[in-house]
Chains A and B, each alone.
Chain A
């Protein structure tokens, strides 16, 4: 009754009411199905066989199954994968006194260097005084 290529309707679970094809026999009453449903292992008790048999090989790929189903006018809607989240645009603060800020550290650096330069001079002066 249920052999490879048999068109079925799934009657249990999330995919129930959707048409599928038996792709492989897994033994112990389980088969591999593909088509409008997800490609998955399935209990034979959860399938209602239909009249049609598709010409597909054992373990046929998803694309081959979709091609064969199209001949019977059974459309398979491909689910779009989750889109990658785009990064939110970050607001950039207005730079009010950008040039002033740049100058400030430079000034400090200069002062520091100046102080450093002065320090040895003072020492020298002290030495001279001694």
Chain B
């Protein structure tokens, strides 16, 4: 029976092989949810999902697209916004 704090499925379970050639169960935190578009709420593409220590070591260009509103709006919403602004 695992310890009480490990009995819910809050943490994900990973099997790892130890240096002593045993397989052990390790509990790890889950990935955060996908980034959403601020305009339409759809999942953003080209954005990285990861815990903070992983994200810290990644370059900026791997975490969001290299366009205005990248990582905030989806390409469709960003395009619409730019077109509307140009017509005014």
Contacts and interface: CB of A to CB of B under 8 A. Distances in A.
How many chain B residues sit at the interface, stated as a range, is: 10 to 19
Interface stretch (A12-20, A30-38, A110-118): A12-20
A17 B68 contact: yes
Given A12-B75, A16-B79, A48 B67 contact: no
Contacts of A9: 82-83, 86
B82 A11 contact: yes
B86 A16 contact: no
Interface residues of A, number: 9
Contacts of A11: 79, 82-83
| 10 closest residue pairs by CB, A with B | A9-B86, A17-B68, A11-B79, A14-B66, A11-B82, A48-B83, A17-B82, A16-B67, A48-B86, A16-B68
Interface of B: 66-68, 75, 78-79, 82-83, 85-86
10 contacts: A9-B83, A11-B79, A11-B83, A12-B79, A13-B67, A14-B67, A16-B79, A16-B82, A48-B82, A48-B86
